[in-house]
A and B are shown apart, each in its own frame.
Chain A
């Protein structure tokens, strides 16, 4: 239970991103200029691009990771894979690109235009069937762990702006957190994004640190305790992170969302050999 397994082509890692597609995601995110749905989609598309970049060598993309994205709420009570109907190796992601966009990136103070792939578009439609989304993720993770019993444990990152409308997600989340490889249990990171300009609660250790709201408590309970071996990276971004902290940010603004995704993925990149 060390979270120390190296990641290689023989022992790939797994990232699953879950994204809320409920109607309320159409509201503008705190600290940003676009809707929560747009910013969440942009952030995940960027992370997929980053994972590809980490795996890119001069001769192509090496399959160090499998990835999958699940959206929930695009229609009432339903959830689905947004890129594929099961996790796919990172080197196969290119054949699932929706379109390429040109974006400006600042490198050493210079604006450089780069081509940026988009795999899925933002949706803000119906309710919040998070339980359905997690149930699909559980199936994906179960299948993947059977094929990769000695890999670094799967990492699931869930982005939502509210509570589930199809039951209590805690039960299925707890089942997911019990799925393990020989190197540790599956990790769930939760990011509750908000349109309100209120102070965020990042990486709480105790339930009393999150507001007295049902879904705030629910998401705390369904977030993994950050393994000690990963705390150092979280501390680079949030000084208050300590042993026992949960992988959870409540009332996240745009900056928090980007930082949580960065931390949740960077801790795993470091294991690539």
Chain B
């Protein structure tokens, strides 16, 4: 099994401005990509907290209370990572409303065969390529990528957090499959997922081969093949 990752900021932005985050825990065989919403602030940090919390925990997200516990732990990390008392007025005013991101988490399960559990909020996608067909979850058609996907909220920032309790919503979609004979699986944020759905499994070969080449993805963005957005993916090859 070999793994490649990529995370490129949108064209015109510095790499550190990417609001996508990806996390891997090889020992636990848990993988996650999260896409921070550009409308909110500290959303890249929130995406990183959430992806990290998923892969480093044992959460079964079919269980609502485990999902809420994951969010509470991720929120604690998000909140404590911001120096609320030293924010400039404009950052402070915006951060009161909290941060948002999409979520995709995958757990591999080895039993009598190899299985995967995938959980999603929003339009970051999971693909299974068995060499004959390409399955995708939760979005199955390029036309279904909307402007307003479901998002995971961090809860309020300071000082609203002192007035209102954090009550997360359970909007998780889940997917399970045997992947024993599968060629590879992919977790990707929306722009790259749309490209894969439009271009089929062969496009994953191209992504794999060019995973370290920003120029390759910049060209796809400049010729309109991919929209100008942050791009990130985890590709796990079993061959």
Q: Which residues in window 100-157 of B have CB below 8 A to A?
A: 156
Q: Is the CB of B10 within 8 A of A56?
A: no
Q: Which residues in window 42-96 of A have CB below 8 A to B?
A: 49, 52-53, 56-61, 94
Q: Is the CB of A100 within 8 A of B97?
A: no
Which residue of the partner chain, among B41, B96, B229, contacts A56 with CB atoms under 8 Å?
Answer: B41
Q: Is the CB of A117 within 8 A of B89?
A: yes
Contacts of A58 in B (CB 8 A): 41-42, 44-45, 91, 95
Which residue of the partner chain, among B90, B92, B160, contacts A108 with CB atoms under 8 Å?
Answer: B160
Interface-located stretch among A5-13, A28-36, A149-157, A195-203: A5-13
Instruction: Tell me the smallest distance from the CB of A251 to a CB of chain B, in Å.
Output: 33
Task: Give the distance in Å from the alpha carbon of A100 to the alpha carbon of B92 in the complex.
Answer: 14
Task: Give the distance in Å from the alpha carbon of A53 to the alpha carbon of B228 in the complex.
Answer: 22
Q: A57-B17, A58-B45 are in contact. Are A100 and B89 (CB under 8 A)?
A: yes
Task: Give the distance in Å from the alpha carbon of A53 to the alpha carbon of B38 in the complex.
Answer: 12
Instruction: Tell me the smallest distance from the CB of A273 to a CB of chain B, in Å.
Output: 6
Q: A52-B90, A273-B228 are in contact. Are A57 and B160 (CB under 8 A)?
A: no
Q: A56-B90, A100-B89 are in contact. Are A112 and B17 (CB under 8 A)?
A: no
Task: Give the distance in Å from the alpha carbon of A112 to the alpha carbon of B93 in the complex.
Answer: 10
Q: For chain B, what secondary structure do more than half of its interface residues adopt (helix, strand, loop), or is it mixed?
A: loop
Contacts of A52 in B (CB 8 A): 90
**What is the number of contacts between chain A and chain B, taking CB atoms within 8 Å?**
52
Q: Which residues in window 1-21 of A have CB below 8 A to B?
A: 6, 8-10
Q: A9-B12, A56-B91 are in contact. Are A107 and B228 (CB under 8 A)?
A: no
Contacts of A60 in B (CB 8 A): 88, 91
Q: Is the CB of B96 within 8 A of A114?
A: yes
Judge if A207 is at the interface, Cβ distance under 8 Å.
no
Judge if B206 is at the interface, Cβ distance under 8 Å.
no
Contacts of A100 in B (CB 8 A): 89
Q: Is the CB of B90 within 8 A of A107?
A: no
Q: Is the CB of B94 within 8 A of A56?
A: yes
Judge if B86 is at the interface, Cβ distance under 8 Å.
no
Which residue of the partner chain, among B12, B42, B88, contacts A10 with CB atoms under 8 Å?
Answer: B12
Q: Give the nearest-CB partner of A52 in chain B.
A: B90
Q: Is the CB of A110 within 8 A of B160?
A: yes
Instruction: Tell me the smallest distance from the CB of A35 to a CB of chain B, in Å.
Output: 26
Which residue of the partner chain, among B10, B12, B94, B159, contacts A112 with CB atoms under 8 Å?
Answer: B159
Instruction: Tell me the smallest distance from the CB of B82 to a CB of chain A, in Å.
Output: 8
Q: Give the nearest-CB partner of B99 in chain A.
A: A58
Instruction: Tell me the smallest distance from the CB of B86 to a CB of chain A, in Å.
Output: 12
Q: Give the nearest-CB partner of A59 in chain B.
A: B17
Q: Is the CB of A107 within 8 A of B96?
A: yes
Instruction: Tell me the smallest distance from the CB of B124 to a CB of chain A, in Å.
Output: 19
Contacts of B45 in A (CB 8 A): 58
Judge if A115 is at the interface, Cβ distance under 8 Å.
yes
Contacts of A61 in B (CB 8 A): 90
- Report which A residues bind B (CB closer than 8 A): 6, 8-10, 49, 52-53, 56-61, 94, 100, 107-108, 110, 112, 114-115, 117, 273
| Sample of 14 further A-B pairs with CB below 8 A, known A49-B93, A60-B88, A114-B96 | A6-B228, A8-B12, A10-B12, A56-B94, A58-B95, A94-B90, A107-B96, A107-B97, A110-B160, A110-B163, A110-B164, A112-B96, A112-B159, A273-B228
